[in-house]
Amino acid sequence: MVNVPRLVIAAPSSGSGKTTVATGLMAAFSERGLAVSPHKVGPDYIDPGYHALAVSPGASVGAGSVGAPGSAARVRPGRNLDAYMCGPGLIGPLFAHGAAGCDLAVVEGVMGLYDGASGQGELASTAQVSKLLRAPVVLVVDASSQSRSVAALVHGFASWDPEVRIGGVILNKVATDRHERLLRDALDESGVPVMGVLRRADGVTAPSRHLGLVPVAERRAEAVGSMRELAARVRAGCDLEALLALARSAPALDVTPWEPAVEPVAPAAGAGRPVIAVAGGSAFTFSYAENTELLTAAGADVVPFDPLRDEELPEGTRGLVIGGGFPEVYAPELSANEPLRKAVAELAYSGAPVAAECAGLLYLARSLDGAPMCGVLAADARMSGRLTLGYREAVAVGDSALAPAGTRVRGHEFHRTVLEPGAGAAPAWGVVHPERRVEGFVQRGVHASYLHTHWAAAPELARRFVERCFVERCTA
């Protein structure tokens, strides 16, 4: 049984301020000495970076900075709860794993409360996750253009699904004292208590660009200052005692915490644990903490490195993971680091296992917006005005260092770049939903694709990858 107090921070729609409120609450409660476990509904990578900063502002947040549960002094990573990629059955166990030893868990929702995977009902919605966690919901409402109508809106959301328990409302972007009185008077009739009011001037925002917020790793010093201010404003505008009492009203959750338990790969005599290098730094900020934990459990030593600064791969590297991020923003700097580009290419040509997702795919290409990249893949990438976004179901077309042929996965695509060609002679995945196509590249030990995957749903991927680190390399 899991008894961690918990809250889900949701909203009627995107843009209402739930990231501001959720992150501010995490920071405010952390400043009070509580060990706060941060979570995000859906596939988003950027918000969890701010969550991790909010609950551990004095530590370095980045690749490899995974703290042990139960220690507020260490980095506690923001963790995703995605019922599409991982399945509803893993939501409770993944939550329990991340929240172990904590005093409070704050879960930031995605989009509007009842919005989920397109055409699949409540699947992957904040509402579904709140029910799976048996967690009360706090609804963040943008009140900037309404007064008494706010009661009708809150009533509608509270009554739509009786299994979703909306325990309070936080009013955002309130203009004046009079505006606040009108809103409070209206909500008195709804039966849902107001637990916070933030004025229009209270908004502390992070800069945005083509894929949303700028990741915290790119603006850490500024973000730390903003976080302190945000915590102060949320603390002043919200009833933290009432919110904590609501969190403590969540019933016990009958789940067994997920563990990154895969059968460790038995190394050859004298081989020891293989080093798997994981790209990090400002250009490669997208990763799920569980992926790294699975690699470690499978028998690897995971070592982060920064392709913007490090001219060599970590000593003894036998495998390489390059996740998502913003290589398009740093293309000139990545290109200028020629020694590392050559080292990556040599590792890939040797047949060592290389798993690259989205940004990693672009880094392995010949060029990105005309700047030379690693040249491992016979493809060129460029920025596009079109956003590619959505969940995908895919199957491995052939055997690779990551997955045997026929392996089925659910993943997520999120980019504004185009790769030409989009697939090699041996594609990485055959996308089967929502459309049918092939994409990505498999060559030697390289598996490169636009598709982001969450390995907690398929831990055998991590074990296979570590196992391939012991396969004798080739130069063919």
Catalytic positions are: 358
Token pair belonging to 63:
């690749």
Q: Before 421, cis peptide (omega within 30)?
A: yes
**Residue type at position 183:** L
Say how far apart CA 393 and CA 377 lie, in whole Å: 24
Interatomic CA distance for residues 255 and 133, integer angstroms: 10
The CA-atom distances, in angstroms, between 60 and each of 227, 286, 307 are: 15, 16, 17
Q: Other CB atoms closer than 10 Å to residue 40's CB: what's the count?
A: 25
| Of 410, 253, 237, 306, nearest in space to 62 by CA | 306
Closest-CA residue to 17 (of 249, 173, 194, 197): 173
CA distance 127 to 354: 37
Contacts of 444 (CB under 8 A, 6+ apart): 348, 349, 350, 351, 474, 476
User: CB 272: neighbour CB atoms within 10 A?
Assistant: 10
CA distance 319 to 103: 37
- Give which of 31, 4, 24 is closest to 140, Cα–Cα: 24
